[in-house]
């Protein structure tokens, strides 16, 4: 794994964030995550202000490692990188976007859940994959099964991850980190519950430590 993947893996959990009001919430949220020991974020392009949120987080909380999620086009790659994104996450395996990021030297985590996805990712030279949606696609049992023919990959499952199953996932050596939105729900963000977000991050960090010994 490269330096960005190593850092994400060392943190162990990646908040997956949708911000409806980035001008109001982005900096406060970034500070809350850092205070909780989780200085990383995947800001999804499911919200219109994603690039603004990435820029505000990157510039105002420089210790944050900020990436862009739900990236669907090469134009969004450019927009995210220009805003300060250090990594790109796609919901599926889009070969055009993967090659585009590789040409630009931008780390990309492509969504893969099937042997066909994994095989294509292998040919593209990827090392770390997003496994999405994790629970709905077979969860940890499928991730372990897929690791048999594809032991070269580390995986970042996202979708259905919670405090309840985070430790079980992270105890598997195939898992680089887990993506989750349980610590950054719309209720927590829209109502400015920054202390609660920090506490959820702290609980997550403890689970990471316990799972990895």
For 154-199, what is each residue's pLDDT tens digit?
999 999 999 999 999 999 999 999 999 999 999 999 999 999 999 9
- What is the average pLDDT across 135-151? 98
Torsion, Cα of 129, 135, 141, 143 (10° steps): 0
Which helix (H) or strand (E) segment holds residue 195: the answer is helix 194-211
In degrees, rounded to 5, the angle at the alpha carbon of residue 14 between the alpha carbons of residues 9 and 20 is 160
pLDDT bucket at 213, cuts 50 / 70 / 90: confident
- 166 close to 207: Cβ distance less than 8 angstroms: yes
133 upstream amide cis, omega within 30 of 0 = yes
The set of catalytic residues is 42, 130
For residue 117, pLDDT over 90 is answered with yes
For residue 1, pLDDT over 90 is answered with no
In degrees, rounded to 5, the angle at the alpha carbon of residue 46 between the alpha carbons of residues 42 and 48 is 105
pLDDT bucket at 115, cuts 50 / 70 / 90: very high
Q: Can you tell me whether residue 161 is helix, strand or coil?
A: coil
For residue 211, pLDDT over 90 is answered with yes
| Domains delineated in the chain | 3-208 (3.20.20.70)
127-160: b or e for each residue (b if 16 or more CB lie within 10 Å)?
Answer: ebbbbbbbbebbbbebbeebbeebeebbbbbbbb
pLDDT in tens, 43-92: 999 999 999 999 999 999 999 999 999 999 999 999 999 999 999 999 99
- 173 close to 6: Cβ distance less than 8 angstroms: no
Q: Mean pLDDT score of the chain, rounded to an integer?
A: 97
Q: Can you tell me whether residue 44 is helix, strand or coil?
A: strand
Q: What percent of the chain has pLDDT over 70?
A: 100
Tokens of 49: 């202000």
Q: What is the pLDDT of residue 85?
A: 98
């Amino acid at each position: 794994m490269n330096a960005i993947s190593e850092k994400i893996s060392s943190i162990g959990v990646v908040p997956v964030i949708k911000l409806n009001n980035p001008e109001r919430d982005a900096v406060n949220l970034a500070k809350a995550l850092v205070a909780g020991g989780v200085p990383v974020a995947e800001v999804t392009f499911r919200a219109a202000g994603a690039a603004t949120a990435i820029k505000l987080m990157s510039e105002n909380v420089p210790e944050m490692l900020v990436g862009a999620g739900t990236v669907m086009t090469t134009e969004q790659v450019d927009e995210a990188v220009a805003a300060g994104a250090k990594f790109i996450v796609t919901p599926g395996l889009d070969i055009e976007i993967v090659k585009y990021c590789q040409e630009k030297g931008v780390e990309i985590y492509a969504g893969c859940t099937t042997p066909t996805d994994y095989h294509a990712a292998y040919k593209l030279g990827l090392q770390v994959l997003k496994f999405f949606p994790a629970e709905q696609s077979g969860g940890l049992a499928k991730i372990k099964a897929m690791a048999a023919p594809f032991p070269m990959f580390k995986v970042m499952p996202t979708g259905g991850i919670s405090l309840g199953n985070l430790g079980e996932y992270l105890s598997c050596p195939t898992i680089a980190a887990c993506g989750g939105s349980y610590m950054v729900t719309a209720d927590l963000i829209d109502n400015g519950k920054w202390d609660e977000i920090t506490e959820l991050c702290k609980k997550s960090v403890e689970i990471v430590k316990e799972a990895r010994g």
